Structure 1
Amino acid sequence: MIVRKLSAAGFVAMALAFGAASAQQPQPAKGPDAAQAPAAPPTTAQAKALIDEKFKAADANHDGKLSREEAEAGMPEVYKRFDKIDARKRGYVTQRQIGAYWQSKTKAQMQNENPVWN
C-alpha cells in the first residue's frame, strides 16, 4: 500500500474544491410561478391533535360521541365509514373508535404495499 503525503498547499486546494462543490446547492425558485414542494405528512402527534380538534368541533352536544348526523356535519370521512367504525351498531362513534379504525386501515395498507417488512 502506497501512502502519499499531501503538501499543505495540496490539502488546502482539495479542501477548497470540496467545500465549494458542497456549498453550491440548488436554491429553490422564488416568485409566483415557483412550484411548491409537497408538504410532509403530519406526525402522529399532529394527526392526533388534528383529529381531536375536528372531533370536538363536530361533537355538537359535547357528550364525547358522534352521532351519524354530527359526523355528517363535521367529519365527512367518518360519516362515509360510519357503519364500519360503529362495529357494535350503537348509533354513535367515539374518538377512540375512530383512531382504532384508521390505525387498522393504515396497518392493512402498509401490509399490502410491502408485506415483507410489515
Structure 2
Amino acid sequence: MRTLTTYLGLIGAAAFVFAAVPAHADDASRNKEIQERFAKCDTNRDGKLTLEEAKGCMPRIYDHFSMIDTQGKGYVTVAEIQAMAAR
C-alpha cells in the first residue's frame, strides 16, 4: 500500500510540474501578444492606451475599459492590461 501511495504521489507531483510549465509559457506568450498589440494601438506612443485608441484596435479592452481603468485616469497601461489578463 505504501508503494502505491508513493507512486501516486510522484504522479501527482509530476502532473503539477508539467501543468505549470505550459501555463507559464502561455502567460509569456499572452504578455508578448498584449505588448505587441498595445504598441500597435498606442498611436501617439505615450505608453497609455485611451478609450479612443482601444476602440478599433483592441475591442476587448474597449469593452472592459472601465474595469481596467479602476482609478478613472482615462487611460490604461500595458501592465494594467497584463494584470487583468492574468486574473
TM-score normalized by the length of structure 1: 0.51
2:73 match: 90
Larger Rg: 1
**1:59 Cα shift?**
0.2
1:46 matched to 2:26? The reply is: no
Structure 2: segments with no counterpart, 5+ residues: 1-22
1:58 to 41, 44, 50: 41
**1:96 Cα shift?**
0.7
> Given residue 102 of structure 1, which amino acid in structure 2 is its aligned partner?
A
2:62 to 69, 72, 79: 79
**Percent of aligned positions with the same letter in both sequences?**
39
Runs (4 or more) in structure 1 with deviation over 6 Å come to: none
Cα distance in 2, alignment partners of residues 101 and 45 from structure 1: 14
**1:66 Cα shift?**
0.3
Aligned residues: 65
RMSD over aligned Cα atoms: 1.8
Secondary structure in structure 2 of the residue aligned to 1:62: coil
Structure 1: segments with no counterpart, 5+ residues: 1-40, 105-118
**1:44 Cα shift?**
1.7
TM-score normalized by the length of structure 2: 0.68
